[in-house]
Structure 1
Amino acid sequence: MFKVQCTSCRETHDNYVGVNRFETNEMSGSRGEANFVWRCKNCKRESSATIKAAPSAYEQGEPPKAQKLFEFDCRGLEFTEFKPEGEWLADGMESGTKFTGVDLTDGEWFDYDEKAGEEVSIKELNWQIKRA
């Protein structure tokens, strides 16, 4: 989920919004389709965002480093915050165990890997949104 801001008047949407790569929405005036279409309440401009490619998996490394997970083509808006709602997937680093339903809303996740015989975790998460 994202916080979105109009690049014309800098008005920020009241709520977090979701973007689904499998959904397209019509833009007014037959200007095509986008994964997310929004009309600013303040200046009434229509803006859009399209996901450029499928999300990338985060590759674990030592030390951990920033990696691009999503890339959008934004027209008239920018995403200013990200909140990891929903279910995520994870793989055990050594065992390859597949974990589903990973909840990252609290910024961390803990479970037990039966194959590896040890606890697994995702913690100290932080997100950056940068212009390409």
Structure 2
Amino acid sequence: MYALTLTAELNGVTNLRPKDTEASPFWYTFMVQCTSCRETHSNAISVSRFEVNELSGSRGEANFVWKCKNCKRESSCSIKIAPKPYEQNEPPKQQTIIEFDCRGLEFTAFSPEGEWLADGIDSGTKFEGIEFQDGEWFDYDEKANDEVSIKDLKWDIKRA
């Protein structure tokens, strides 16, 4: 099992989470490495908890199935539960966002591509369309009459 963790400075917002529904799935984007031969896949891969692929030679299924080009071993990854929202803390604390059951592969880096959501702490304002191409996000909460932001994002992949 691997856990994707986040530490971030949230100002005026809480419940940071990927927009991840069956109608609008979030694609978790990673660099992967084969645990057998240690070959790193040359391209980033994306995993959705709503996509199901069959494992060859068995009745099993996984959200992501990959065959290493170097050693030809098949590997898989499954997401067992929905992502957990990142709660605002002072000072920022590392929290698990989502867990992956990986067999024969490990994640080496995460890219937060895709749409994220957050809620205003005092106002309850729903913020949608949050993206982190620049590594941070700034907006204005009309109800709270104040600037809100998400910055100093630190992603980590840990064995759970």
TM-score (structure 2 length as normaliser) = 0.81
Unaligned runs of 5+ in 1: none
Q: What is the aligned partner in structure 1 of residue 60 from structure 2?
A: 32
- Larger RCO: 1 or 2 (CA < 8 Å, sep 6+): 2
CA deviation vs aligned residue, 1:47-98 (integer Å, no higher than 9, x gap) = 0000021000001111110000010110000011000001100111111110
Tell me the percent identity.
Answer: 74
Q: What is the aligned partner in structure 1 of residue 120 from structure 2?
A: 92
Q: What is the aligned partner in structure 2 of residue 118 from structure 1?
A: 146
The structure carrying a bigger strand percent of its residues is 2
d(CA) in 2 for partners of 1:47 and 1:105?
29
Matched letter for residue 83 of structure 2: P
Alpha-carbon contact 1:83-1:105 (below 8 Å) kept? no
Unaligned runs of 5+ in 2: 1-28
d(CA) in 1 for partners of 2:133 and 2:41?
20
Q: What is the aligned partner in structure 1 of residue 135 from structure 2?
A: 107
| SS of equivalent residue, structure 2 residue 57 | helix
Equivalent of residue 58 in structure 1, options 82, 86, 91? 86
TM-score (structure 1 length as normaliser) = 0.97
| SS of equivalent residue, structure 2 residue 155 | coil
d(CA) in 2 for partners of 1:57 and 1:70?
9
Q: What is the aligned partner in structure 1 of residue 110 from structure 2?
A: 82
Which stretches of structure 1, 4 residues or more, deviate above 4 A after TM superposition? none
d(CA) in 2 for partners of 1:95 and 1:59?
15
- Over the aligned positions, Cα root-mean-square deviation in angstroms equals 0.8
